[in-house]
Amino acid sequence: MQISEFQKLISLKYEQRDRQRGTPASFMWFIEEVGELATSLAGNDQAEKEGEFADVFAWLCTLANINDIDIEKACSKYLGDQVKGFK
């Protein structure tokens, strides 16, 4: 699956509700999932880690969708030999 396909899937399933919730509240959900990922990374349960990575990515797609950002296009900045702003 391509990033754009997953982002579209999230859009089709959740975007109407996500737009109603808005960016600030959706960002809080995203941060909660990042916290759960951080906790899982401290453990040894690989399936839990996979699930938390998926949750974080889904919420990132939600934020992108409601802010009209194409994540795949945005990530294209990493395709060249010289990435500006890479730390």
Q: Could you report the per-residue pLDDT of 10-51, keeping only the tens digit for each?
A: 999 999 999 999 999 999 999 999 999 999 999 999 999 999
The answer to whether residue 36 sits within a structural domain is yes
pTM of this structure? 0.89
The CATH number covering residue 62 comes to 1.10.287.1080
The answer to whether residue 19 sits within a structural domain is yes
Element (H, E) at 62: helix 46-66
pLDDT band at residue 80 using 50, 70 and 90 as cut-offs: confident
Token couple for 45? 């349960």
Domain of 17, in residue numbers: 3-78
Domain count of the chain?
A: 1
Specify burial of residue 51 (Cβ count, 10 A radius: 0-12, 13-18, 19+).
middle
